[in-house]
Amino acid sequence: MAELDQHEGEQDLEKKIEETRQRFKNEFLQDSTEKYDSRDVERLQKDDALVEGYLTWRLHVVDEALKMIDESFQWRKEFGVNDLSENSIPKWMFETGAVYLHGYDKEGNKLFWFKVKLHIKDAKTILDKKKYVAFWLERYAKKEPGMPLTVVFDMSESGLSNIDMDFVNYVINCFKVYYPKFLSKMIIVDMPWIMNAAWRIVKSWLGPEAISKLKFASKAEVQTFIDPEYLPPYLGGTDPFKYSYPPLPDDDFQTPICDNGPIVSEDEIESKDSEMEGKDTLESSFNSEIAVKPKKVNFLEESVRGDDNDKGDTSVRTKGPRKPVTTFKGLLLDVSPAEELSFGSGEMEKKSLIILSNVTKNQVAFKVRTTAPEKYRVKPSSSWCEPGATVDIVVSLHGGSQVSPQDRFLIMAAEMDSVVSQELTQFWKEVPKTKIMEHRLRCHVLESVKPTLSPLRDSPVDTGSSRQQEVNTLVSSLLQMMTCNSRLEQKLNTCLWVQKVLIGLVLVLVVLNLLCLYLLGTS
């Protein structure tokens, strides 16, 4: 029944996507050819995820989604968003470090930092500042399509002169209208009390769909949302990062990153070995008698089959990694899963599967890269896929490594003429960047199922792990209580201080009153 409801829901969504496209074409494109950038209009007609984003943000009300698309596309045309580059932004803006992307929150969302103390209200530069924000958002949207952002307004050492309500309203509109479903949360860190009135106005701008995403945090509370490794020392963190330009500090796939597989001193040797391994496997698969149609090449099963042959028993199979259920539709390859690689605590859950499907009529070369090459092993990390064929890539944790939500994988793909005539290493050196399809995956840690605690009489044997869980729960509760007590103590001290000040003022007034009476009496 649930599957039937899900299927009906998917069909309803497809209908609304098509209705949105058709109505936009009929109602907004008539006599308005110069109103929008043709590239945005073309993308709307082809990209289902883009239309779905607007519909979801507007609660699947087509009329509201159309208004949002119209406003968003006009803004993109006015600001020339599709053509924004480093050269179109004044260099001094990059050098100030007032806005940049760096690090991740506890949910694995990229952090978009606004250093408020570095922003000075200036009508002459406001347009460039708005384009600067659009540059970062558009850059991230292309690198991580569909991935939300967490905005951090770092208000440390800021004052009223740093608050520009027009600029703040623009930033909010970027997430409210121009980039739907982009905002994970907005964290206001260390806000001076004098700015409370200003932020009440900001909350009214956010609207009901985004008001729950606004989080206020002191320096002590910000670690509720962001781990210390991505917080600067003045916010209680351990992140040694210091902004500098150039280069732009937002691309995790520049450093550190390398092709997967055993780390050796000669990258060329490693790449060549993986190429030959992939070639042998593919040739043996496609030369088999059952290869009448494009065959699914499962490298995990091939390796298991090889081990079993040595023992003379080909019937033994081990359970494979968890299969993905979502798919990203790419120009060259369909990639499953669409967004996240899931890992768990069990032995087999330490492996995850990436499925690549060639949707072109040519051979497609691919390679997989990661931000944590010391943790993961990928087989194959570099190979190619025949037209219409599917390749299974097994990603496994190495040794005792632990999965982190901040770990990322990059899948690169490009069409190639012939496998025989070119080696993959040379091919990747020569292929133009414009011909490369890129898709990024983040890691997801599956929560282990916690058994329900039963009374001692029903469970006489108490294991060490359950006792440890109880201790951890108690410690967590005590820490929460200590934090609450600390906050209450701070508030109480503040109240006592205010009370003392008021008593002092009353005493001063009493003394002045008595002095006046005395002077009147003597006169």
Is the same domain home to 99 and 26?
no
Is the same domain home to 140 and 177?
yes
CATH number of the domain within which 151 lies: 3.40.525.10
Q: What's the pLDDT band for 355 if we cut at 50, 70, 90? A: very high
Q: Is residue 300 part of a domain?
A: no
pLDDT at 62 over 60: yes
Least confident of 55-59, 61-65, 75-79, 342-346: 342-346
Contact predicate 50/44, CB 8 Å:
yes
Q: What is the pLDDT of residue 183?
A: 86
Which residues are paired to 154 by β-bridges? Answer: 115, 189
Q: Is residue 20 part of a domain?
A: yes
Is the same domain home to 432 and 362?
yes
Q: Is residue 365 part of a domain?
A: yes
Q: What is the pLDDT of residue 320?
A: 58
| Each residue's pLDDT tens digit, 448-503 | 544 444 443 334 444 455 555 665 566 556 556 666 666 677 777 777 777 777 88
% pLDDT > 70, the chain: 70
In angstroms, the CA 106 to CA 372 distance is 17
Is the same domain home to 41 and 158?
no
- Expressed as residue numbers, the domain containing 52 is 8-82
Is the same domain home to 148 and 46?
no
**Displacement of CA 171 from its chain's centroid (Å):** 18
pLDDT at 71 over 50: yes
Q: What is the pLDDT of residue 210?
A: 61
How many domains, in total, are found in the chain?
3
CATH number of the domain within which 336 lies: 2.60.40.10
In angstroms, the CA 412 to CA 261 distance is 16
Q: Is residue 418 part of a domain?
A: yes
Q: What is the mean pLDDT of the chain?
A: 75
Q: Strand pairing of 149-154 and 183-189?
A: parallel
Q: In degrees, to the nearest 5, what angle opens at C-alpha 185 toward C-alphas 179 and 188?
A: 115
Q: Half-sphere exposure of residue 347, counting CA atoms within 13 Å on the CB side?
A: 2
Q: Is residue 475 part of a domain?
A: no
Is the same domain home to 61 and 114?
no
Is the same domain home to 34 and 139?
no
Is the same domain home to 12 and 47?
yes
In the predicted model, what is the mean pLDDT of residues 435-443?
89
pLDDT at 85 over 90: no
Is the same domain home to 228 and 140?
yes
Q: What is the pLDDT of residue 233?
A: 93
In the predicted model, what is the mean pLDDT of residues 202-219?
74
pLDDT at 226 over 90: yes
Q: What is the pLDDT of residue 334?
A: 92
Q: Is residue 181 part of a domain?
A: yes
| Each residue's pLDDT tens digit, 166-189 | 888 888 888 888 887 788 888 989
Q: Is residue 319 part of a domain?
A: no
In angstroms, the CA 133 to CA 502 distance is 46
| Each residue's pLDDT tens digit, 259-276 | 443 333 334 334 444 444
In the predicted model, what is the mean pLDDT of residues 380-393?
88
pLDDT top residue among 457 and 333:
333
Single residue among 19, 49, 82 that ends a domain in this structure:
82
pLDDT at 313 over 60: no
Contact predicate 360/347, CB 8 Å:
no
% pLDDT > 90, the chain: 14
Single residue among 215, 235, 255 that ends a domain in this structure:
235
Q: What is the pLDDT of residue 7?
A: 56
pLDDT at 319 over 60: no
- Token digits of residue 229: 């490794």
In the predicted model, what is the mean pLDDT of residues 130-149?
87
Contact predicate 411/438, CB 8 Å:
yes
Is the same domain home to 64 and 43?
yes
Q: What's the pLDDT band for 66 if we cut at 50, 70, 90? A: very high
pLDDT top residue among 226 and 523:
226
pTM for the model stands at: 0.52
pLDDT at 292 over 50: no
In the predicted model, what is the mean pLDDT of residues 376-386?
86
- Closest C-alpha among 181, 210, 45, 157 to residue 109: 181
Q: Is residue 269 part of a domain?
A: no
Q: What is the pLDDT of residue 289?
A: 37
Q: What is the pLDDT of residue 144?
A: 80
Single residue among 181, 212, 235 that ends a domain in this structure:
235
Is the same domain home to 130 and 190?
yes
Contact predicate 333/411, CB 8 Å:
yes
| Each residue's pLDDT tens digit, 19-44 | 999 888 888 887 666 888 889 998 89
Is the same domain home to 105 and 164?
yes
Q: What is the pLDDT of residue 407?
A: 84
pLDDT at 516 over 70: yes
